Amino acid sequence: MKNKSKFLYLSPVVIYAIVLILFPILYILFLSFQTNDNYGGIIYSLTLNNYIKIFDIVYLRVLFKSASIAFITTVICILISYPFCIFISEKKPNVQKILITLVMVPFLTNSLIRTYGWIVLLRKEGVFNSILQSLNICDGPISFMYNNLGVFIGLVYTLLPFMILPVYSSVSKIDKKVLEASEDLGANAYHTFTKVIIPQTLPGIFNGSLMVFIPAIGMFFIADLLGGGKIMLVGNLIKNQFLVSRNWPFGAAISIFLIVITFLLVKLYKKSGGNMDDLGGF
Amino acid sequence: MQRHRHLKNLFIFLVFLFLYLPIITLIVFSFNTSPLNILFEGFTLEWYGKLFSNTTLLEALKNTIIVSVVSTGISTFIGTLAAIGLQKYNFVGKNFINKLLYVPVVIPEIVLGISLLSVYTLLKLNLGLGTLIVSHIAFSIPFVIISVRTVLNSMNLQIEEAAHDLGANDFKTLTNVIIPEIMPGIISGATLAFTLSLDDVIISYFTAGPGSNTLPLQIYAMIKTGITPDVNALTTLMILVIITVLIISSLIQVRKMKKEYAR
Amino acid sequence: MKKVMVRLDNVKKKYDEKEIIKGISLDIYEGEFLTLLGPSGCGKTTLLRTISGLEKVSSGKIYIDEEDVTDVIPRKREVNTIFQNFALFSHMTVEKNIGFGLKMKKVPKSEIKSRVKEVIELIQMEGFEDRKPTQLSGGQQQRVALARGIVNKPKVLLLDEPLSSLDMKLRKQMQVELKRIQKKMGITFIYVTHDQDEALSMSDRVAIINNGVIEQIDTPRKLYDAPKTKFVADFIGESNQFNAVVVSTQNDEAIIKLEIDLEIKVKNNHYDVGEKLTVIIRPEQFRLAREKDITNCFVVKTKEHIYSGSFTKVLGKVDKKEIEFIIYNDDDYTKNEEVKLKFSSDDIVILEESNEE
């Protein structure tokens, strides 16, 4: 009887984990060693060519650019979230609750809709340019989008709450008494900040960075819509291999490469004392 | 702590402005007579009327709701059982399964999207609502498990024994005691799954087929070809629904809290 | 002869080859308040859980009301458990919590209502029916947990350190309360604790458990006055223990030599010369001695005086042996570096080596 209920509880999740997680990943691992023919078909072989191709200067450039965009996005998110969370944590508890809920509200609407909102604001004939011109601040339209700026605005906007939430939860966990103790022990504001606050909130920052950096590599639709197709993220590269140039084995190889990088980052996160459940528990 | 209070409030305000600007813009333009969205010309409800005759958009909305509701239901069910089972039982490979469950949480969505696409192609499955639902289940389950597990971990383990001790069989213990005890975790897991599913672009992009466009995909296509103002109207309506739900749920919470403190 | 309600017959429990309970046999009578007392890790909670069925025995038999329940699952046993941290269902009201067991047994609703009402009166918590456990104080939660058990009128109620999470004052109150309810309901209580005061003040009998075996089972008074093992003597109250050897015997008197190089005269209990004994003297069994060399006199070098209201506890040394004794504060005593102590050989306990394993 015990085995029967054990089976009932666990068989769905085991089947799920194997069929919908393990198998797909093993399959693209397999694909990544194949060759494609010119018509999008797959020739079964065993080759490392797809991995070697990643290190081609053309693709390396994309990887590097995408990584630096993701990195800068992460840094901007930290720079916004950190003071934001500290200032919020100084409010009364129920005000804090309301403000954090308000952070979440926009993100309950669709990210594409919100991206579209940015297009309305940023484009050449958009709201910003219209206002600027009607105030005669500048002559011609300013290009807010179809460039790096647009991509940064889109990525930061879309990923900001993934930084705010973990940072806020670590900031709000700081015991106010610890801060008082620090002042009591003669630390000035700067020292309290660098020696007490920062170390205690580091796990939250790290958690948030992981949740911003990794998706930022893959958000092809932001680059598509706000970068105007001029900016290639790794996500765009993979998407193109699968849907445009139909070179699945190469796309699979890049994906495996991304998985490896993700795992390395997660390892680092765990090593620094991060809890895995915090990553998915907003 | 009170130093530079105004500066701090200004900063908070600016961040919120940043967060809400695109949404406010869309709401404002949903009442704009000019279909080009460029500047506000005059007030109209025309787009709300048009919305209800835009079958493509409504079809996409319907698909989105079907996919979200079905995938949330299934992943909440499997995820809740799994969280309980994984806490309760040991088995060979449990550690491995636990590790696998984090994969959809951490890897870039696009990787999950193309791997599922590859598998569907391998199995010669036609892309459509079915594959879309399966894919949404694939990324939702871990989030449900994590939410439920958080509550389970803080639950007093002895209540299960207490239920048995008081004469409840396994099934009654599950339905009358454990599930109600972990309900907050189940609800937050389901909410998370539902939100993620509503919002998903990347995975849907690869796993939807012709005729199974979801709202995000439809809008994606429209942004490229030309968006109509009824999308603004739809957005406004959706935001209205969300805010109503939020207000109702917080009112319920407040009432509950008041009831508890009234004693 | 009282009726046996619970009978344990050579119960053993092993976890991964480690024996937690090493063959315990025990009869518990109807309406009795029996306490399983022992240090943490001694197996007392495990033993309790074998009675509730939450733990399966590795071997041996368990009878409840003369019925063999060894292989009966927990919910089919007519026993209920009060858990250490109450284990109340946090989503249910007080009333629903208490009525849960009856509901599971498909008792008609009207009867559930009246029986729940009855016990709520018994635990004096009228007016709290609709509260959730989180809205109750620790003591109230404790009462609800108790009510949830007794409402089912179990043949035996098992209590697993139920008071350990309460503060001192509340604990004392609840001890009285528990005893009152037990008497009123007439239910057999089996109570697990590591707190000897609790055990001694509430129980009809106490079973001292150590290392998976029962060291001694007796009334609280007997455990204190006549411990049967060194462990019991040490565990219940304070004691000074001395290794001793019988030097000579003479009719009803025996001379024995303590490890501190002191010969004392005690009652002869068929001792053989050379036999090894353990002498146990409670701190309060020492009296101040006036004359110099009466028999059974200790000369103690004092080290520390611990004032404690009506008495002062004194720590001292004879030879290298630590000694503890009590001076009542109305005694004519001034702090001294050296004190002479006497005791009556009628009071003290002498264990023969064969009593030990």
In terms of Cα–Cα distance, which of B226, B204, B214 is closest to B37? B226
C61-85 per-position pLDDT tens digit: 999 999 999 999 888 899 999 998 8
- Summary count for chain C: helices (H), strands (E): 8, 20
Specify the higher pLDDT residue, A251 or B241.
A251
C262-315 per-position pLDDT tens digit: 888 888 888 888 888 899 999 888 888 876 666 778 888 888 888 888 888 889
Tell me which chains share at least 3 CB pairs under 8 Å with chain C: B
DSSP per residue over C147-163, as a string? HHHHTT--SEEEEESTT
A34-58 per-position pLDDT tens digit: 888 877 677 888 888 888 888 888 8
Cβ atoms of B117 and A242 closer than 8 Å: yes
Q: Cα distance from C132 to chain B (closest Cα, Å)? A: 9
Q: Can you name the residues that pair with C192 across neighbouring β-strands?
A: C36, C160
In terms of Cα–Cα distance, which of C193, C111, C124 is closest to C153? C111
Q: How confident is the model at residue B3 (pLDDT cuts 50, 70, 90)?
A: low
Q: Calculate ∠ Cα C44-C153-C183, nearest 5°.
A: 75
Cβ atoms of C123 and C141 closer than 8 Å: no
> Residue B122 belongs to what H/E stretch?
helix B109-122
CA gap C69, A59 in Å, rounded: 72
Are B220 and A252 a contacting pair at CB < 8 A? Answer: no
Q: How many CB pairs under 8 A join B and C?
A: 66
Q: How confident is the model at residue C117 (pLDDT cuts 50, 70, 90)?
A: very high
- Note the residue count of chain C: 357
Q: Please report, for chain C, the start and end positions of each structural domain, with discontinuous segments joined by +.
A: 4-235, 240-355
Tell me what pLDDT residue C217 has: 93
Within 8 A of B41 by CB-CB distance, chain A residues are none
C243 touches chain B (CB under 8 A): no
Does residue C185 register a pLDDT over 90?
no
Does residue C354 register a pLDDT over 60?
no
Question: Region B218-233: what's the mean pLDDT?
Answer: 81
Q: How many CB pairs under 8 A join A and B?
A: 240
Looking at chain B, the whole-number percentage of residues with pLDDT higher than 90 is 38
Within 8 A of B258 by CB-CB distance, chain C residues are none
Which CATH architecture describes the domain C240-355?
Beta Barrel (2.40)
Tell me what pLDDT residue B162 has: 92
Cβ atoms of B221 and A221 closer than 8 Å: no
Q: Which two tokens stand for residue C113?
A: 């209502």
Indicate the range of A133-147, B91-105, B185-199, C99-113 predicted with least confidence: A133-147
Does residue A240 register a pLDDT over 50?
yes
In terms of Cα–Cα distance, which of C103, C162, C262 is closest to B166? C103
DSSP per residue over C219-234, as a string? -HHHHHHS-SSHHHHH
Residue A163 vs residues A45, A226, B115, B140, C105: alpha-carbon distances, Å: 43, 21, 27, 20, 51
Does residue A201 register a pLDDT over 80?
yes
DSSP per residue over A91-102, as a string? S-HHHHHHHHHH
Contacts of A244 (CB under 8 A, 6+ apart): none
Cβ atoms of B79 and B148 closer than 8 Å: yes
> Closest partner residue to A214 among B23, B108, B116, by Cβ?
B108
Handedness of CA C287, C288, C290, C292 (dihedral sign): positive
Does residue B145 register a pLDDT over 90?
yes
Handedness of CA A223, A228, A231, A235 (dihedral sign): positive
Q: Which two tokens stand for residue C16?
A: 């991964």
Domains of chain A: 55-280 (1.10.3720.10)
Specify the higher pLDDT residue, C285 or A129.
C285
CA gap A137, C124 in Å, rounded: 78
Tell me what pLDDT residue A175 has: 72
Q: In this structure, which amino acid lies at residue B241?
A: V
Q: Which two tokens stand for residue A160?
A: 């900001």
Neighbours of B66 (CB within 10 A): 15
Q: How confident is the model at residue A212 (pLDDT cuts 50, 70, 90)?
A: very high
Tell me what pLDDT residue C355 has: 47
Specify the higher pLDDT residue, C356 or C256.
C256
> Closest partner residue to B166 among C80, C91, C132, by Cβ?
C80
Tell me which chains share at least 3 CB pairs under 8 Å with chain B: A, C
Cβ atoms of C249 and C327 closer than 8 Å: no
Q: How confident is the model at residue C356 (pLDDT cuts 50, 70, 90)?
A: very low
Cβ atoms of C128 and C91 closer than 8 Å: no
Question: Region B130-150: what's the mean pLDDT?
Answer: 93
Residue B121 vs residues A217, A256, B209: alpha-carbon distances, Å: 25, 18, 12
Looking at chain B, the whole-number percentage of residues with pLDDT higher than 70 is 94
Neighbours of C37 (CB within 10 A): 29
Are B81 and A13 a contacting pair at CB < 8 A? Answer: yes
> Residue B25 belongs to what H/E stretch?
helix B5-29
CA gap B129, B136 in Å, rounded: 10
Q: Does residue B141 belong to any structural domain of this protein?
A: yes
Specify the higher pLDDT residue, C184 or A43.
C184
Residue B59 vs residues A199, B52, B53, B227: alpha-carbon distances, Å: 51, 11, 11, 16
Q: At which residue do the structure tokens 């308000």 appear? A: A102
Q: How many CA atoms lie within 13 A of C215 on its CB side?
A: 25
Q: In this structure, which amino acid lies at residue A221?
A: F
Does residue B38 register a pLDDT over 70?
no
Q: Which two tokens stand for residue C33?
A: 């308040």
Which residues of B make CB contacts under 8 Å with C? 156, 158-159, 161-169, 172, 176-177, 180-181, 183, 260, 263
Within 8 A of A115 by CB-CB distance, chain B residues are 22, 223
Pairing of strands A35-36, A42-43: antiparallel
Question: Region C323-330: what's the mean pLDDT?
Answer: 82
Across chain C, mean pLDDT equals 88
Are C52 and B177 a contacting pair at CB < 8 A? Answer: no
CA gap C168, C165 in Å, rounded: 9
Tell me what pLDDT residue A2 has: 63
Contacts of A14 (CB under 8 A, 6+ apart): B97
> Closest partner residue to A21 among B18, B23, B104, by Cβ?
B104
Does residue C343 register a pLDDT over 70?
yes
| Overall domain count for chain B | 1
Among all residues of chain B, which has the CA nearest to that of C157?
A: B165
> Closest partner residue to C87 among B156, B167, B263, by Cβ?
B156
Tell me what pLDDT residue B148 has: 93
Within 8 A of B177 by CB-CB distance, chain C residues are 89
Specify the higher pLDDT residue, C295 or B117.
B117
Does residue C87 register a pLDDT over 50?
yes
Tell me what pLDDT residue B135 has: 95
Looking at residue B120, which CATH number applies to its domain?
1.10.3720.10
Question: Region B99-119: what's the mean pLDDT?
Answer: 92
CATH number of this structure's domain C4-235: 3.40.50.300
Q: Calculate ∠ Cα C284-C286-C292, nearest 5°.
A: 160
Does residue B263 register a pLDDT over 70?
no
Pairing of strands C311-318, C297-308: antiparallel
Tell me what pLDDT residue B259 has: 67
CA gap C351, C271 in Å, rounded: 11
Tell me what pLDDT residue A29 has: 94
Q: Cα distance from B248 to chain A (closest Cα, Å)? A: 14
Neighbours of C145 (CB within 10 A): 24
- CB-based burial of residue A45 (10 Å sphere; 0-12 exposed, 13-18 middle, 19+ buried)? exposed
Tell me what pLDDT residue A64 has: 92
Helices (H), chain C: 44-52, 94-104, 109-122, 138-150, 168-185, 196-202, 220-225, 230-235
Q: Cα distance from B148 to chain A (closest Cα, Å)? A: 10
Within 8 A of B260 by CB-CB distance, chain C residues are 132, 135
Cβ atoms of B232 and B36 closer than 8 Å: no
Question: Region C179-183: what's the mean pLDDT?
Answer: 89
Q: What are phi and psi of B21, to 5 degrees?
A: -50, -55
Tell me what pLDDT residue C191 has: 94
Q: At which residue do the structure tokens 């998976």 appear? A: C212
DSSP per residue over A55-81, as a string? TSHHHHHHHHHHHHHHHHHHHHHHHHH
Q: Which two tokens stand for residue B91?
A: 């088995």
> Residue C305 belongs to what H/E stretch?
strand C297-308
C265 touches chain B (CB under 8 A): no
A66-122 per-position pLDDT tens digit: 999 999 999 999 999 998 998 888 888 888 888 888 888 887 777 888 888 888 888
Indicate the range of A83-92, A94-103, A141-150, C148-157 predicted with least confidence: A141-150
> Residue C7 belongs to what H/E stretch?
strand C4-15
Tell me which chains share at least 3 CB pairs under 8 Å with chain A: B
Residue B73, domain extent: 58-227
> Residue B132 belongs to what H/E stretch?
helix B129-154
Q: Does residue B79 belong to any structural domain of this protein?
A: yes
Question: Region C208-226: what's the mean pLDDT?
Answer: 91
Residue to mutate among B37, B51, B107, with most A CBs inside 10 A, is B107
CA gap A184, A274 in Å, rounded: 30
Tell me what pLDDT residue B260 has: 62
C90: Cα separation from own chain's centroid:
31
- Assign B175 to helix, strand or coil: helix
Q: Cα distance from B47 to chain A (closest Cα, Å)? A: 16
Within 8 A of B174 by CB-CB distance, chain C residues are none
Cβ atoms of B193 and B147 closer than 8 Å: no
Q: Which two tokens stand for residue B181?
A: 């005890």
A83: Cα separation from own chain's centroid:
20
- Summary count for chain B: helices (H), strands (E): 12, 0
Among all residues of chain C, which has the CA nearest to that of B260?
A: C135
Looking at chain C, the whole-number percentage of residues with pLDDT higher than 70 is 96
> Residue C62 belongs to what H/E stretch?
strand C59-64
Does residue C357 register a pLDDT over 70?
no
pTM over 0.90: no
Burial track B97-114 (b if 16+ CB lie within 10 A, e otherwise):
beebbbbbbbbbbbbbbb
Does residue B115 register a pLDDT over 90?
yes
